[in-house]
Amino acid sequence: MADLVSTWVGATAKQIARGVRRGDVSATSVVADHLEHIGVFDAELAAFRTVRGGEAIVEAEKVDEQDDLANLPLAGVPVAVKENTAVAGLPILNGSAAAATAVAEEDDEVVRRLRGAGAVVLGTTRMPEMGLWAVTDDPDGPTRNPWDTDRTPGGSSGGAAAAVAAGLVPLAHGNDGLGSIRIPAACCGLVGLKPGRGVVPCKLGVENWFDLTEHGMLATTVADAAIGFAVLAGRRPEKLVPPSGLRVAVSLRSPVNGIRPDEPNRQAVATAAKLLVGAGHSAITADPVYPAKLGLAGLATWFAAAYRESAQLDVRALQPRTRRHIRAGRWAWNRGMVRESDRAGWRERSIGFFTDRAVDLLLTPALAATPPRAEGWAGGSWRTNLLGSMRYAPYAAPWNIAGLPSIVVPVGIRPDGLPLAVQLTGPPGSELTLLGVAGQFEMANPWPRHAPGWPRVSAAL
């Protein structure tokens, strides 16, 4: 972490909020530090789409003027918001100018809750066009992973993950339709929680991707992730209680036939299983059964979500990969391949896995392979993008379809120097249990909070 005598860049959200509440530092000073850091170093990563600058300083000054700082869990904390979510006064860009909608007249409910908790929105972060891909790349250039700038930070909340992993902000908002928080968290060594369906209000695009999408936060610590979750869920933050005596199913099986996790990701699961046992839990081998029709239903829904959302866009101006995706979605939609009954059936079957096997959580890999290269995806073919996303990140999507809570937690470093992570999934209402287990992992096996060499605090700071 950076030297807190000269700058608060690199501090956790919890540290910053405590410092602002105590009067150790002003929100204005914290925000100014982070804006300067972004201005100097984001050019290396392209994490941000817009930076609010003076507007953010004015908001920070308003935080400093409040009389009730003690009741603000994110007092003065700089945050970023994914660019597909309404921030009053900013366009909703959805990953490209061609996919943009009108300038937002008011904040989305989750942004309103962040601001109500004392957070200051510094800007919006980049995503792939329409949030469709597990890489964050557009014609303006790719967003880069601070762990290795030749690699992607994942998608679709790739800009959010890159910003947090580099210390540009301590906490960033993301949303997750088929893994879009958890995949970037795994790529960038962060904690990323996708809440269960209906826990956090979410209204994105047309029909919210058929209710697959959830809002969440990316953080460097479990404590920050827990505070961010509580704020988005409209709850009072509470101290996490370490769970005990859980029975956890451990599975390497991929939801996509023919894809197997590479050796580092297999070892990540083995490490996590040992951490579970060390914390007093039981780890048993038990594979969910992923029916073939689940994959077909998932693909059809992914395609159709793009088709339905494109109705308000000039499709001709979109990237070729996106146009092809929309055509596939029109075909699937017109043939009745997107059915609520399929999604409801998988949800029921998923909940049944926990009850029938008498297990509390499911442990799987977060990724199947190392994050792919950063460049070349926006101009690539639909097939290349489709297969590229599925081959390295197949584990997240089933839990969006089921609407179950799921978290990604760092557990080590790959031989190539990139972070390793695992995914934990639970039944409805298990968000705090997931965070509690993640906290046990963090205590027993601490991870680097930021990518090596980040944050890059300049001498001017």
Q: Is position 82 annotated as part of the catalytic site?
A: yes
Residues 6+ away with beta carbon under 8 Å from 395:
179, 254, 255, 364, 365, 366, 367, 368, 423
Q: Which is the catalytic residue, given 14, 96, 156, 157?
A: 156
Residues 6+ away with beta carbon under 8 Å from 232:
110, 113, 114, 173, 195, 200, 215, 216, 217
DSSP conformation class of 294? H
Asked if 368 contacts 393 with a C-beta cutoff of 8 angstroms, the reply is: yes
Asked if 362 contacts 288 with a C-beta cutoff of 8 angstroms, the reply is: yes
Q: Which is the catalytic residue, given 14, 96, 157, 180?
A: 180
Burial zone of 226 (CB within 10 Å; 0-12 exposed, 13-18 middle, 19+ buried): buried
- The CA distance from 132 to 303, in Å, is 9
- The CA distance from 359 to 282, in Å, is 9
Burial zone of 272 (CB within 10 Å; 0-12 exposed, 13-18 middle, 19+ buried): buried
Q: Is position 282 annotated as part of the catalytic site?
A: no
**Strand pairing category for 137-138 and 191-194:** unpaired
DSSP conformation class of 127? -
Q: Is position 239 annotated as part of the catalytic site?
A: no
DSSP conformation class of 196? P
Active centre residues (catalytic):
82, 156, 180
